[in-house]
Amino acid sequence: MHKDNGEMNPMRTDETRHGLSTLSRLRITAMVSILSLWVLILVLWVIWMSKGLRPIADDYSRGAGLTDGPITAVVNLWNSWAGDLATNLVNVVIVGIPLQYLPWSFGSSIAFLASGVMVSIVLLFVINSQTGTNKKLTIPKRLILLPLALVAWWSYWWVNKEFNPNDSFYESTTTSITFWQNVNATYVFIPSIGIFLWLVIERIRKKHPNNLQVLPLYFLVGFVIGMSGIVFAVSFMIFVTLMLIASWLDSRSPRAPQILIWASFITTVFLAALASHFSPGSQNRTTFLPKISLDNETILQLLHTVFPSLSDWLKSLVNPGMAISVIIIVIFATLLTLQGHSFDDQNLRQIGLGLIGFSLILFLVNGFSEVFAYAAFWHRIQGSTILWIGIVSLGVSFALRISKSQIKPSVLVFSGVVVSIVSTVAVLQMTLEISARSSLWESGPAPTTYIADIEDENGWQRVNWLILRNQIGGPDRGL
pLDDT in tens, 403-430: 888 787 778 888 888 999 999 999 999 9
Higher pLDDT, 66 or 292: 66
Burial class (CB within 10 angstroms; exposed 0-12, middle 13-18, buried 19+) of 23: exposed
Q: Report the C-alpha gap between 266 and 237 in whole angstroms.
A: 6
Evaluate whether residue 392 is within a structural domain.
Answer: yes
Evaluate whether residue 115 is within a structural domain.
Answer: yes
Q: Report the C-alpha gap between 479 and 475 in whole angstroms.
A: 9
251 confidence band (pLDDT: 50, 70, 90): low
Percent of the chain at pLDDT exceeding 90: 71
Paired residues of 469 in beta bridges = none
- The answer, yes or no, to whether residue 15 has pLDDT greater than 50, is no
Paired residues of 131 in beta bridges = 343
Is the dihedral angle over the CA atoms 148, 154, 160, 165 positive or is it negative? Answer: negative
Q: What is the predicted pLDDT for the residue at 370? A: 95
Evaluate whether residue 472 is within a structural domain.
Answer: no
Evaluate whether residue 385 is within a structural domain.
Answer: yes
Domain count for the chain, please give it.
Answer: 1
Higher pLDDT, 343 or 77: 77
Give the helix/strand (H/E) hosting 221: helix 215-226
Domain that holds residue 397: 21-54+108-463
Evaluate whether residue 353 is within a structural domain.
Answer: yes
Q: What is the predicted pLDDT for the residue at 140? A: 62
Helix crossing, 320-338 with 22-49: angle to 10°? 130
For 297, other C-beta atoms within 10 Å of its C-beta total 10
- The answer, yes or no, to whether residue 4 has pLDDT greater than 50, is no
Evaluate whether residue 3 is within a structural domain.
Answer: no
- The answer, yes or no, to whether residue 347 has pLDDT greater than 70, is yes
- The answer, yes or no, to whether residue 10 has pLDDT greater than 50, is no
SS3 breakdown of the chain: % helix, strand, coil, rounded to 5?
Answer: 75, 0, 25
With 0.85 as the threshold, say if the pTM is over it: yes
For 191-219, how does the pLDDT look when each residue is reduced to its tens digit (9 = 90+)?
A: 999 999 999 999 998 888 777 889 999 99
Evaluate whether residue 224 is within a structural domain.
Answer: yes
Where does 289-402 show beta strands of DSSP type E? none
Q: What is the predicted pLDDT for the residue at 139? A: 60
Q: Report the C-alpha gap between 402 and 419 in whole angstroms.
A: 17
Q: Report the C-alpha gap between 180 and 108 in whole angstroms.
A: 9
3 confidence band (pLDDT: 50, 70, 90): very low
Ranges 122-126, 287-291, 367-371, 416-420: which has the least confidence: 287-291
Evaluate whether residue 62 is within a structural domain.
Answer: no
Q: Report the C-alpha gap between 308 and 363 in whole angstroms.
A: 9
Q: Which of 87, 70, 150 is nearest to 118 (CA)?
A: 150
- The answer, yes or no, to whether residue 133 has pLDDT greater than 60, is no
Q: What is the predicted pLDDT for the residue at 105? A: 94
- The answer, yes or no, to whether residue 19 has pLDDT greater than 60, is no
